[in-house]
Structure 1
């Protein structure tokens, strides 16, 4: 299953591969190694595009007492920071870095009401850069429920990511684990949680979007 944001890219990659295969067979009849190299390269391009836009079906177990990972990747930050855009106070930041080989679907970490959704143009620093959260192209979304209050997640473009897709609109009721958007190529998502939230992950842990429990209240 592939994400709808990849429809155009998959179509173009398929056409490109088909053209290379046909033309190489037609025009390169004697130099076998060159024909094979071009065909393998074209097939690899198609495979890379297909794996990048994959969208595995995941049935999230809805639980208002948990915050689930919004994306696949590695937990690279767990620390107390000052969140200056929306809360303007201290929060616990949990950041997940996505490499180009990770699934890049963004999922809602909790069910609740979207209170804030804003796009920010910006730079394309590498996603793990300390200033990426404030200076890179990004979107900021705040979702609120009765258990945790308001939590903020931020989709951050990386050095290769040139497009962030965000489906959250202010006033929407959203469901934990469902499709919240997409980030193309290497990137990062930051979660900002209330101080005192019991964190359920550790640094360098692999997170699975919609499945891994980031925080849990008993």
Structure 2
């Protein structure tokens, strides 16, 4: 287990603030209030640490399989029209990440990144039907060696107001390498070809790099 680099600044500032407020409470209030503040700040800091944890996981999926890019729960499995880049009907799988999930996101397939785009937007709750098209989001499209295209969309939500994505057009993508990070959770949509065989169910809890979403 390690901490993600996106959390270093927040963790440092939070620790400084918590220590400062704890010392202030020590001089301004009685011991009971001081220990109450310390307990509360310790709990809050542990929760923040949870947001930025990166567990070590091994990929055991077959080469043609699409691994899960995010921790969370499967909230959408449906056939849709993808209008931004693919401009065709696809199978969409959406993973909702709660504040308690790991928030790092990973490439689901090997291939080449052929498209990346960041979109500023709203901060609707992640399960809102329009969050995929109206919220702050990033889109990354990977083309596999077989010519199949997989689109991954990171979507900010009501709590998650900062998307970090590391993919650049033209770079090689490797399954299990970092695609990006959504601070404090939200949602990741994966768009697959219609012929892809889905291996997850609606409502299923999934783990990044460990579970298999589909076979191409």
Please report the TM-score for the alignment, with normalisation by the length of structure 2. Answer: 0.95
Separation in 2 of the partners of 1:23 and 1:88? 58
Give the alignment of 1:183-194 within 5 angstroms.
183-194=182-193
Q: Partner of 2:5 in structure 1?
A: 4
In the alignment, the residues of structure 2 paired with residue 62 and residue 148 of structure 1 have an alpha-carbon distance, to the nearest angstrom, of: 20
1: CA distance, partners of 2:201 / 2:166: 29
SS at match of 1:11: helix
The superposition leaves residues 64-114 of structure 1 with CA deviations (integer Å, 9 ceiling, x where unpaired) of 211011000000000000100001110000000000110000000011100
User: What does residue 20 of structure 1 align with?
Assistant: 21
Please list every run of 5 or more consecutive structure 2 residues that lacks an aligned counterpart in the other structure.
none
Tell me the SS of whatever aligns to 2:75.
strand
Equivalent residues in 2 for 1:161-176, closer than 5 Å: 161-176=160-175
Does the CA contact (< 8 Å) of 2:61 and 2:67 recur in 1?
no
1-structure distance, mates of 2:12, 2:58 = 28
Shift of 1:18: 2.1
SS in 1 for 2:150: strand
Alignment match, 1:118: 117
Give the C-alpha shift of residue 186 in structure 1: 3.0
TM-superposed CA distance for 1:62, in Å, is 6.1
Q: What's the CA shift string for 1:121-176, capped at 9, x where partnerless?
A: 11100000011101100000001113461100100000111100000000000210
The equivalent of 1:140 in structure 2 is: 139
Equivalent position of 1:152 in the other structure: 151
Residue pair 1:64, 1:147 contacting (<8 A) in 2 also: no
| 8 Å contact kept, 2:103–2:184 | yes
| Structure-2 separation of matches of 1:67 and 1:121 | 28
Partner of 1:86: 85
Q: Could you tell me which residue of structure 2 aligns to residue 213 of structure 1?
A: 212
Counterpart secondary structure, 1:85: coil
Distance 1:176 1:61 in 2: 11
Structure 1: gaps of 5 or more residues: none
Once residues 44 and 16 of structure 1 are traced to their aligned partners in structure 2, the CA distance between those partners, rounded to angstroms, is 14
Alignment size in residue pairs: 215
SS in 1 for 2:47: helix
Give RMSD over aligned pairs: 1.4
- Structure 1 partner of 2:57: 58
Aligned position for 1:73? 72
SS at match of 1:106: strand
For normalisation by structure 1, the TM-score amounts to 0.94
